[in-house]
């Protein structure tokens, strides 16, 4: 019946496969490969607007990077920095590269001149509002008679009281200790001068193409700086890490995929010693891979690098079905016909796929973008591979001659004779030892859900990052504040309310610099209040300015001109500001229209008291302190718990499914090796002191899916166990090979999955072989 139905499917399936190949070929050139770890992780549990704003800001932020080019002599450092910046500019990977910022800063200050009559520094506002105008007068006199005046960006003619100078000085650029020298920013430390270069990438650093070009540009720029005499180039910014991770990912993907494929080919050749099984296996694997990619492209619009790495190990799984199919050849060396093979193998392959797919589909239920991709990729890819084996192979395969003493036959026979361990007492002792080992392991089990443990960058990059922080004497915090409102004006007003709350924290050092847009362009409400204050106290006929200038000896017409200039001051509009060079340090903070409102980010430096910060941000409308790391760690924690419950649920479902065919005791016996293998793997990790995270748990779920394949293969071929044993042996070897390789990945969570799965499958197979139902022997007759 099954055979008949599968036969009729041949042409439709072949046509479907051709269509798949065509669609895949059409989609491949435009395939977007994503590499951000955050894209893999679940979204925080927030409203969509906030989420969108957080994304927009982190995307902006991830494009910025800062480099310090150091040499023993300032002039050399400057030349090397120029070479570095030149190489970045000519690469085209960076939209903007900043080296000579001195002129831009001077220009940025001068941008404010037309609005000088209405802008106030915090200090001056306080003095004027509290009747201490005298202090302002003293400060202005000091600037005129002592060298203090040289520190002001504006002269006495443009800014007689220093109001605008103070407003501009109140804006601290986020470059820490760096000072201006010959138009560039520089820091000196330990006998070296460092020159600062800032860059902004053209595209999101997480697009694979951008990473590749930025990574190459950075390598070239470093070489150029070194050739120009730089002794040290350190950098800070997401792009370097992304580029490093992408390069590593690519290398791993091709290495693991290559070894895995080559290993499978060698194993298949050793087992079957014929080209046709090899080619057909390769065909089913390739079609499976194409189907997985296509499914991801259709469902998610692109594919994540991690899915690709993971997918390269799919080879190890999909090859199992081919092996099981071709191993059937040894059931009857003389009269085997491929068309008969499904009768013996279809149930095993079908059930095996079903359990595997079920565990992958369980992943699909978790709102984890990365896991859903892996799940969909695997379920689709394995489904197609499984279909190919069952539908295409019977017609395309040919019997091939096998030697009487073929290696595969001998291996199968040897495996059949082997029953581990042979003596009953020893078995009991081994079971007890294993139980004790698992119990001890479970008692030592500890969990580690911090997302930072999942981001591993090359140590030299992390050292560079720390060095930049140390040299600039400040560190940007991962936390930031998101401010939202119905209008741009409301956003600015809310920012001002927040800054007022943060002021005490800054004064006693619990918080460093706060970079906020409203610091550079006050809300219209604030500007109106300031203009009013100024008009009443400073620019009135008997105000501070006329009195001050008269005292110095200015003529009345000169004073009148000053007053007229101040009186004509308009309000500074946000759009005018954003279009000006003064907006440069603030540009990434303004998020503009988002989800029906407006939003901006306030960036924080040197957070020393997170609790006080949270308290300050609490209760302000539209203001939210965002700490992505903490949020994601929390989410990881929750989903780890959910995944653990999910494992139990999937076991129950698979158990129920199997009990329909094998009965309750049979189902339990079929599941035991997978359960035991998973527990033993977990115990090994626990004894090794590994903190268990979500990805270990998910790997256990996959162990369940694949491990139960093996017991099912064994059980389904009780009447002819030699081929099944051979298939299981080969399948385990290929699976351990591919997942064992993942354990060597430098990406922590791929490593976690690989190690857990290699251990779990290894143990499962040992158990499956050892606990193989003895009934098999009698059934042969």
Partner 1 sequence: MRALRRRAAACLAALTLLAGVLPAYAGEDAAVFAHPLDAAGLAALLGPAQRLAAASGLRGRFEQRKYLQELPQPLLSSGEFLFARGLGIWWHTRVPFDSVFVLTRSGIRNTDEGGARMELRSDDQPAVAGVARIFFALFALDFRTLSSEFDLYGMPAADAGPGAWMVGLRPRSSALAGVFGQALIAGAARATRVELSDAQGDRTVVAIPEASAIEGPLTPQDRQRFAD
Those residues whose C-beta lies under 8 Å from the C-beta of residue 241, and which sit 6 or more positions away, are 455, 457, 461
Shortest separation between residue 548's beta carbon and partner 1, angstroms: 12
Q: Can you tell me whether residue 302 is helix, strand or coil?
A: coil
Is-contact 437 443, C-beta < 8 A? no
Shortest separation between residue 198's beta carbon and partner 1, angstroms: 13
Cβ neighbours, 10 Å, residue 513: 17
- Residue whose CB is less far from partner 1, 187 or 636: 187
Q: Is 610 in the site for partner 1 (CB under 8 A)?
A: no
Per-residue mark of binding to partner 1, 182-201 (x: CB under 8 A): xx-x----------------
Q: Which residues pair with 750 in a beta bridge?
A: none
- Residue whose CB is less far from partner 1, 100 or 489: 100
Both tokens of residue 33?
Answer: 């490969």
- Residue whose CB is less far from partner 1, 544 or 683: 544
Please tell me the count of residues contacting partner 1 according to CB under 8 A.
46
Selection from 327, 319, 268 nearest residue 722 by Cα: 327
- Residue whose CB is less far from partner 1, 140 or 366: 140
Cβ neighbours, 10 Å, residue 67: 28
Those residues whose C-beta lies under 8 Å from the C-beta of residue 640, and which sit 6 or more positions away, are 447, 449, 692, 693, 694, 697
Shortest separation between residue 541's beta carbon and partner 1, angstroms: 15
Cα separation, 525 vs 494, whole angstroms: 11
Site for partner 1 in 103-162 (CB under 8 A): 103, 105-106, 109-110, 135, 138-139, 141-142, 144-148, 150-151, 153, 155-158
Shortest separation between residue 127's beta carbon and partner 1, angstroms: 12
Q: Is 178 in the site for partner 1 (CB under 8 A)?
A: yes
- Residue whose CB is less far from partner 1, 15 or 503: 503
- Residue whose CB is less far from partner 1, 78 or 250: 78
Cα separation, 666 vs 659, whole angstroms: 7
Per-residue mark of binding to partner 1, 74-113 (x: CB under 8 A): xx------------------------x-xx-xx--xx---
Shortest separation between residue 193's beta carbon and partner 1, angstroms: 11
Residue with the two structure tokens 């099944």: 724
Shortest separation between residue 617's beta carbon and partner 1, angstroms: 24
Using CB under 8 A, which of the segments 180-188, 308-316, 332-340, 365-373 binds partner 1?
180-188
Q: Is 45 in the site for partner 1 (CB under 8 A)?
A: no
Shortest separation between residue 110's beta carbon and partner 1, angstroms: 8
Shortest separation between residue 518's beta carbon and partner 1, angstroms: 19
Selection from 287, 411, 315 nearest residue 20 by Cα: 287
- Residue whose CB is less far from partner 1, 314 or 559: 559
Q: Can you tell me whether residue 99 is helix, strand or coil?
A: coil
**Which letter, b or e, does each residue of 297-332 get, where b requires 16 or more Cβ atoms within 10 Å of its Cβ?**
beebebbbbbbbbbbbbbbbbbbbbbbbbbbbbbbe
Using CB under 8 A, which of the segments 283-291, 367-375, 553-561, 610-618 binds partner 1?
553-561
- Residue whose CB is less far from partner 1, 123 or 343: 123
Shortest separation between residue 181's beta carbon and partner 1, angstroms: 5
- Residue whose CB is less far from partner 1, 197 or 411: 197
Q: Is 552 in the site for partner 1 (CB under 8 A)?
A: yes
Q: Can you tell me whether residue 605 is helix, strand or coil?
A: strand
Q: Which of 173, 302, 547, 610 binds partner 1 (CB under 8 A)?
A: 173
Both tokens of residue 264?
Answer: 């499978």
- Residue whose CB is less far from partner 1, 486 or 560: 560
Q: Is 236 in the site for partner 1 (CB under 8 A)?
A: no
Residue count of the chain: 781
SS3 content of the chain, % helix, strand, coil (to 5): 70, 10, 20
Site for partner 1 in 459-498 (CB under 8 A): 473
- Residue whose CB is less far from partner 1, 123 or 395: 123
Shortest separation between residue 155's beta carbon and partner 1, angstroms: 4
Cβ neighbours, 10 Å, residue 657: 16
- Residue whose CB is less far from partner 1, 139 or 340: 139
- Residue whose CB is less far from partner 1, 108 or 488: 108
Cα separation, 211 vs 476, whole angstroms: 23
Shortest separation between residue 579's beta carbon and partner 1, angstroms: 21
Selection from 537, 388, 518 nearest residue 9 by Cα: 388
Question: What phi, psi does 512 have (nearest 5°)?
Answer: -90, -140
Burial class (CB in 10 A: 0-12, 13-18, 19+), 669: middle
Q: Is 176 in the site for partner 1 (CB under 8 A)?
A: yes
Q: Is 401 in the site for partner 1 (CB under 8 A)?
A: no
Shortest separation between residue 137's beta carbon and partner 1, angstroms: 12
Selection from 605, 606, 604, 574 nearest residue 591 by Cα: 574
Cα separation, 546 vs 554, whole angstroms: 9
Angle at 446 between CA 708 and CA 363, to 5 degrees: 40
Q: Can you tell me whether residue 694 is helix, strand or coil?
A: helix
Q: Which of 2, 8, 179, 719 binds partner 1 (CB under 8 A)?
A: 179
What secondary structure does DSSP assign to 555-570, as a single string? Answer: -HHHHHHHHHHHHT--
Angle at 219 between CA 215 and CA 220, to 5 degrees: 115
Is-contact 354 706, C-beta < 8 A? no
- Residue whose CB is less far from partner 1, 177 or 419: 177
Shortest separation between residue 509's beta carbon and partner 1, angstroms: 13
Shortest separation between residue 296's beta carbon and partner 1, angstroms: 48
Chain contacts with partner 1 (rule: CB under 8 A): 74-75, 100, 102-103, 105-106, 109-110, 135, 138-139, 141-142, 144-148, 150-151, 153, 155-158, 169, 172-173, 175-183, 185, 473, 550, 552-555, 558
């Amino acid at each position: 019946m099954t055979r008949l139905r599968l036969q009729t499917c041949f042409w439709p399936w072949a046509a479907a496969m051709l269509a798949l190949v065509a669609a895949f070929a059409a989609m491949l050139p435009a395939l977007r490969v994503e590499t951000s770890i955050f894209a893999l992780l679940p979204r925080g549990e927030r409203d969509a607007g906030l989420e969108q704003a957080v994304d927009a800001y982190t995307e902006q932020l991830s494009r910025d990077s800062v480099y310090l080019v150091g040499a023993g002599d300032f002039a050399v450092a400057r030349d090397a920095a120029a070479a570095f910046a030149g190489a970045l500019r000519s690469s085209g990977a960076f939209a903007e590269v900043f080296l000579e910022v001195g002129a831009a800063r001077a220009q940025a200050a001068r941008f404010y001149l037309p609005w000088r009559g209405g802008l106030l520094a915090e200090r001056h506002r306080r003095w004027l509002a509290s009747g201490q105008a005298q202090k302002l007068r003293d400060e202005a006199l000091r600037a005129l008679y002592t060298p203090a005046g040289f520190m002001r960006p504006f002269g006495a003619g443009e800014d007689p009281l220093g109001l605008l100078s103070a407003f501009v000085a109140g804006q601290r650029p986020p470059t820490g200790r760096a000072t201006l020298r010959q138009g560039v920013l520089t820091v000196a430390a330990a006998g070296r001068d460092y020159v600062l270069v800032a860059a902004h990438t053209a595209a999101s650093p997480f697009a694979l193409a951008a990473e590749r070009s930025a990574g190459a540009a950075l390598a070239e720029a470093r070489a150029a700086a070194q050739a120009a005499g730089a002794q040290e180039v350190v950098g800070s910014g997401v792009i370097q890490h992304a580029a490093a991770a992408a390069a590593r990912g690519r290398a791993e993907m091709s290495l693991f995929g290559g070894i895995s494929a080559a290993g499978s080919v060698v194993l298949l050749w050793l087992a079957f010693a014929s080209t046709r099984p090899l080619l057909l296996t390769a065909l089913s694997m390739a079609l499976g891979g194409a189907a997985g990619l296509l499914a991801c492209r259709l469902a998610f619009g692109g594919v994540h690098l991690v899915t690709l790495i993971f997918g390269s190990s799919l080879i190890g799984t999909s090859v199992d079905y081919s092996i099981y199919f071709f191993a059937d050849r040894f059931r009857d060396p003389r009269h085997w016909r491929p068309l008969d093979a499904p009768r013996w193998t279809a149930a095993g392959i079908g059930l095996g796929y079903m359990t595997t797919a079920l565990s992958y589909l369980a992943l699909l239920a978790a709102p984890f973008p990365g896991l859903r991709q892996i799940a969909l990729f695997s379920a689709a890819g394995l489904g197609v591979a499984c279909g190919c084996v069952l539908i295409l192979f019977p017609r395309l395969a040919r019997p091939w001659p096998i030697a009487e003493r073929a290696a595969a036959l001998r291996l199968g026979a040897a495996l059949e004779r082997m029953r581990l361990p042979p003596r009953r007492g020893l078995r009991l002792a081994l079971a007890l030892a294993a139980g004790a080992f698992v119990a001890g392991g479970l008692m030592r089990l500890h969990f580690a859900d911090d997302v930072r443990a999942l981001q591993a960058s090359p140590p030299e990059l992390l050292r560079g990052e720390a060095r930049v922080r140390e040299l600039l004497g400040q560190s940007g915090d991962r936390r930031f504040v998101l401010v939202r409102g119905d209008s741009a004006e409301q956003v600015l007003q809310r920012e001002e309310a927040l800054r007022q709350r943060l002021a005490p924290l800054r004064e006693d050092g619990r918080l460093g610099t706060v970079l906020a847009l409203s610091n550079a362009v006050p809300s219209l409400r604030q500007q109106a209040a300031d203009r009013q204050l100024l008009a009443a106290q400073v620019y009135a006929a008997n105000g501070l300015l006329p009195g001050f200038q008269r005292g110095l000896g200015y003529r009345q017409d000169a004073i009148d001109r000053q007053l007229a200039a101040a009186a004509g001051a308009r309000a500074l509009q946000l759009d005018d500001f954003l279009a000006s060079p003064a907006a440069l340090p603030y540009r990434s903070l303004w998020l503009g229209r988002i989800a029906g409102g407006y939003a901006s980010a306030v960036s924080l430096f040197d957070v020393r008291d997170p609790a006080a910060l949270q308290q300050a941000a609490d209760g302000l409308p539209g203001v939210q302190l965002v700490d992505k790391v903490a949020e994601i760690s929390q989410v990881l924690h929750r989903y780890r718990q959910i995944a653990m419950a999910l494992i139990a649920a999937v076991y129950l479902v698979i158990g129920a499914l199997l009990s329909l065919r094998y009965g309750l005791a049979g189902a339990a016996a079929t599941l035991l090796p997978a359960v035991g293998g998973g527990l033993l793997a977990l115990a090994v990790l626990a004894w090794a002191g590994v903190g268990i995270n979500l990805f270990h748990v998910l790997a256990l779920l996959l162990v369940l899916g694949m491990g139960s394949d093996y017991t099912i293969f064994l059980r389904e071929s009780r009447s002819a166990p030699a081929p099944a044993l051979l298939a299981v042996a080969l399948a385990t070897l290929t699976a351990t090979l591919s997942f064992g390789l993942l354990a060597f990945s430098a990406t922590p969570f791929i490593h976690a999955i690989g190690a857990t799965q290699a251990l779990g499958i290894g143990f499962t197979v040992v158990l499956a072989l050892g606990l193989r139902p003895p009934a098999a022997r009698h059934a042969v007759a």
